[in-house]
Structure 1
Amino acid sequence: MGIISTTEDGTARFGTNLQTANSVHNLQTNEYFTTIQAAIDASNTTDGQTIEVSAGLYNEEVIVNKSLSIYGQGWQNTTINPSGSPHVIYVTANWVNISGFTVTGTYSTPIDSGIWLESVQNCRIENNELTGDWAGVYLVSSCSNSINNNRLLYNDFFGNGEGIRLEYASNNNTVSNNLIMYCAQFGVILLESNDNTIYNNSIIGHTWFGMGLLNNCIGNSIFHNQLMNNAGQAKDDGTNNWDNGYPSGGNYWGDYSGVDNKSGPNQDLSSSDGIGDSNYSISGGFNVDRYPLMQPISPIEGILPHSPIHINSNADFNIAHNVTSGNGTKGNPWIIENLNLSGFVVGSCFYIGNTTEYFKIRNCSFHDASGLSAWWETGYPSGSGRGLVLYNVQNGIIENNYIYSNEFDGSIAYLSSNIHYYNNSFFNNIDRCIDINTSNNCTVEGNTMAYSFVGIGSAQSYFITFVNNSISHYTYGIYPWVSYFFSVNNNKIENGDTGVCLEGCTNSSNMIRDNTISGNSYGVYLSYSSNIFVNNNAIRDNTMTGIAITGFMSNDQNTIVNNSISDNYNGISIGYSYSNEIINNTIVNSTNYGVTIQQSDSNLLYHNNFINNIIQAHNEGSNAWDNGYPSGGNYWSDYIGMDVYSGGMQNIPGADGIGDTPYNITQWSGQDRFPLMTPWGTDITQPNSTVRPPSQYWYRTTILSTYANVTDPESPIANVSLFFHFSADNSSWSNWTLFGIDDLAPWNWSFNFSSGPGYYEFYSVAVDNAGNVEAAPSAADASCAFDPFAPTVVDTSASSATTGDTFYVRASITEAFALAQVQVMYWYGSGSSVIGAMHPGTNNQYELALDIPANDTESLYYQITAVDEAANFNSTLTRSITVSDNDSPIARAGSDQTVNASVQMQFNGSGSVDNVGIANYTWNFTYNGSEVLLYGEMPNYTFWAPGNYTAYLNVSDAVGLWAVDDLTVAVVLMAPPVNNTNNTNNNTNNTQNQTNQTSNFLNDYWWAIAVVALIVVAVAIGVFMLRRKPKAVEASKEEPEDKKEE
Structure 2
Amino acid sequence: MTKKMIVLMLLIGMFLTSLPLTDSNVTENSINYIKQSPFRINNNSDFSTYASSGDGSEENPWVIENYNISDEDSYVGIYIGNTTEHYILRNCLISNLSFAPISNRNCIYIYNSTNGIVDGNNVTDHDNGIVVEDSKKMVVKDNEIAVMDSYGIVFAGCSNSTAKNNYIRVANQGITFTDGTEYSKALNNDIKYVDDGIVSYSDNNFIEENNIANFTTGIFIGFCQYQTIKNNIIEIQEGSLNNVRADPCIGIVSRLSGDSLIDGNYISNTIYAIYSDDSVGNDIKDNVVDSNQIGIYVENSGHELVRGNIVSNNTDYGVLIDKSNNTNIYGNLIQNNKESGEGDSVGVRITSYEDSIVYHNNFINNDVHGSCADINNDWNAPYPIGGNYWDTYDGYDNYSGINQNIAGSDGFGDTSFTISGGEPPIVDEYPLMERIDLFPEEEVEEPQPQPDEEVHPFTNLAENITVAVIIFAIGIVAVMVIKMFSGDKNVYD
Q: Same fold, TM exceeding 0.5?
A: yes
Partner of 1:609: 362
Partner of 1:126: none
Deviations 1:917-953 (A, max 9, x none): xxxxxxxxxxxxxxxxxxxxxxxxxxxxxxxxxxxxx
Q: Distance in 2 between matches of 1:519 and 1:677?
A: 33
The equivalences for 1:953-972 within 5 A come to none
1:462 to 185, 203, 212: 203
SS at match of 2:306: strand
For structure 2, the 5+ residue unaligned runs are 112-124, 238-248, 339-344, 470-479, 485-493
The equivalences for 1:748-767 within 5 A come to none
Cα drift, residue 350 of structure 1: 4.0
The answer to whether structure 1 residue 632 and structure 2 residue 381 are counterparts is: no
2:408 to 625, 638, 654: 654
Q: Distance in 2 between matches of 1:373 and 1:505?
A: 34
Cα drift, residue 325 of structure 1: 2.8
Partner of 2:233: 492
Q: Distance in 2 between matches of 1:399 and 1:255?
A: 20
The equivalences for 1:995-1006 within 5 A come to none
2:428 to 651, 654, 672: 672
Q: Distance in 2 between matches of 1:381 and 1:326?
A: 19
1:426 to 168, 172, 197: 168
2:286 to 515, 536, 543: 536
Evaluate the alpha carbon distance shift between residue 665 and residue 536 of structure 1 in structure 2; reply closer, same or farther with a 3 A threshold. Answer: same
AA aligned to 2:234 is: I
Cα drift, residue 484 of structure 1: 2.1
The answer to whether structure 1 residue 436 and structure 2 residue 177 are counterparts is: yes
For structure 1, the 5+ residue unaligned runs are 1-204, 208-227, 235-250, 261-271, 275-294, 698-703, 720-766, 772-1046
- Contact 2:38–2:71 (8 Å) recurs in 1: no
Cα drift, residue 463 of structure 1: 1.7
Evaluate the alpha carbon distance shift between residue 595 and residue 707 of structure 1 in structure 2; reply closer, same or farther with a 3 A threshold. Answer: closer
Partner of 1:558: 304
Q: Output the TM-score relative to the length of structure 1.
A: 0.37
The answer to whether structure 1 residue 314 and structure 2 residue 43 are counterparts is: yes
Partner of 2:195: 453
Evaluate the alpha carbon distance shift between residue 548 and residue 312 of structure 1 in structure 2; reply closer, same or farther with a 3 A threshold. Answer: farther
Q: Distance in 2 between matches of 1:435 and 1:337?
A: 25
The answer to whether structure 1 residue 585 and structure 2 residue 335 are counterparts is: no
Evaluate the alpha carbon distance shift between residue 400 and residue 716 of structure 1 in structure 2; reply closer, same or farther with a 3 A threshold. Answer: closer
Deviations 1:663-705 (A, max 9, x none): 11136532111111112225778846547345159xxxxxx66
Cα drift, residue 634 of structure 1: 1.0
Evaluate the alpha carbon distance shift between residue 607 and residue 712 of structure 1 in structure 2; reply closer, same or farther with a 3 A threshold. Answer: farther
Deviations 1:315-345 (A, max 9, x none): 365033447435165x655444444555766
SS at match of 1:441: coil
Q: Distance in 2 between matches of 1:518 and 1:404?
A: 24
Deviations 1:498-538 (A, max 9, x none): 111111112x2x11111112222211111111111111111
Evaluate the alpha carbon distance shift between residue 391 and residue 309 of structure 1 in structure 2; reply closer, same or farther with a 3 A threshold. Answer: farther
Q: Distance in 2 between matches of 1:409 and 1:538?
A: 29
Cα drift, residue 633 of structure 1: 0.8
Cα drift, residue 307 of structure 1: 5.0
Evaluate the alpha carbon distance shift between residue 604 and residue 372 of structure 1 in structure 2; reply closer, same or farther with a 3 A threshold. Answer: farther
Evaluate the alpha carbon distance shift between residue 325 and residue 454 of structure 1 in structure 2; reply closer, same or farther with a 3 A threshold. Answer: farther
The equivalences for 1:858-1007 within 5 A come to none
AA aligned to 2:431 is: P
Evaluate the alpha carbon distance shift between residue 671 and residue 696 of structure 1 in structure 2; reply closer, same or farther with a 3 A threshold. Answer: same
Q: Distance in 1 between matches of 2:17 and 2:280?
A: 49
AA aligned to 1:560 is: V
AA aligned to 1:315 is: N
AA aligned to 2:99 is: G
Percent identity over paired residues: 26
SS at match of 1:318: helix
Q: Distance in 2 between matches of 1:436 and 1:467?
A: 14
Partner of 1:481: 222
Q: Output the TM-score relative to the length of structure 2.
A: 0.75
Deviations 1:573-604 (A, max 9, x none): 11111111111111111121111111231111
Partner of 2:347: 594
Q: Distance in 1 between matches of 2:12 and 2:159?
A: 42
Partner of 1:371: 99
AA aligned to 2:140 is: I
CA RMSD of aligned residues (A): 4.0
Q: Distance in 2 between matches of 1:664 and 1:564?
A: 23
AA aligned to 1:550 is: E
The equivalences for 1:234-253 within 5 A come to 253=17
Q: Distance in 2 between matches of 1:374 and 1:642?
A: 74
Cα drift, residue 481 of structure 1: 1.3
Evaluate the alpha carbon distance shift between residue 768 and residue 577 of structure 1 in structure 2; reply closer, same or farther with a 3 A threshold. Answer: closer
- Contact 2:96–2:126 (8 Å) recurs in 1: no
- Contact 1:687–1:711 (8 Å) recurs in 2: no
Which deviates further from its counterpart, 667-676 or 438-447?
Answer: 667-676
AA aligned to 1:480 is: I
Q: Distance in 2 between matches of 1:768 and 1:517?
A: 16
AA aligned to 1:318 is: F
AA aligned to 2:48 is: I
Cα drift, residue 373 of structure 1: 7.1
Q: Distance in 2 between matches of 1:343 and 1:558?
A: 51
Cα drift, residue 614 of structure 1: 0.8
- Contact 2:126–2:148 (8 Å) recurs in 1: no
The answer to whether structure 1 residue 549 and structure 2 residue 298 are counterparts is: yes
Partner of 2:115: none
Q: Distance in 1 between matches of 2:100 and 2:287?
A: 36
**May I ask how many residue pairs the two structures share in their alignment?**
432
- Contact 1:641–1:661 (8 Å) recurs in 2: yes
Cα drift, residue 563 of structure 1: 1.0
Partner of 2:373: 620
Cα drift, residue 646 of structure 1: 0.8
Q: Distance in 2 between matches of 1:403 and 1:308?
A: 20
Evaluate the alpha carbon distance shift between residue 467 and residue 473 of structure 1 in structure 2; reply closer, same or farther with a 3 A threshold. Answer: same
AA aligned to 1:549 is: V
Q: Distance in 1 between matches of 2:382 and 2:459?
A: 37
Q: Distance in 2 between matches of 1:301 and 1:644?
A: 77
Q: Distance in 1 between matches of 2:95 and 2:11?
A: 18
Q: Distance in 1 between matches of 2:287 and 2:102?
A: 35
Q: Distance in 2 between matches of 1:231 and 1:417?
A: 32
Cα drift, residue 467 of structure 1: 1.3
- Contact 2:449–2:455 (8 Å) recurs in 1: no
Partner of 2:122: none
SS at match of 2:148: coil
AA aligned to 1:419 is: S
Q: Which has the higher contact order (CA 8 A, sep 6+)?
A: 2
Q: Distance in 1 between matches of 2:151 and 2:458?
A: 51
Cα drift, residue 358 of structure 1: 4.6
- Contact 2:299–2:322 (8 Å) recurs in 1: yes
AA aligned to 1:571 is: G
The answer to whether structure 1 residue 512 and structure 2 residue 253 are counterparts is: no
Evaluate the alpha carbon distance shift between residue 605 and residue 420 of structure 1 in structure 2; reply closer, same or farther with a 3 A threshold. Answer: same
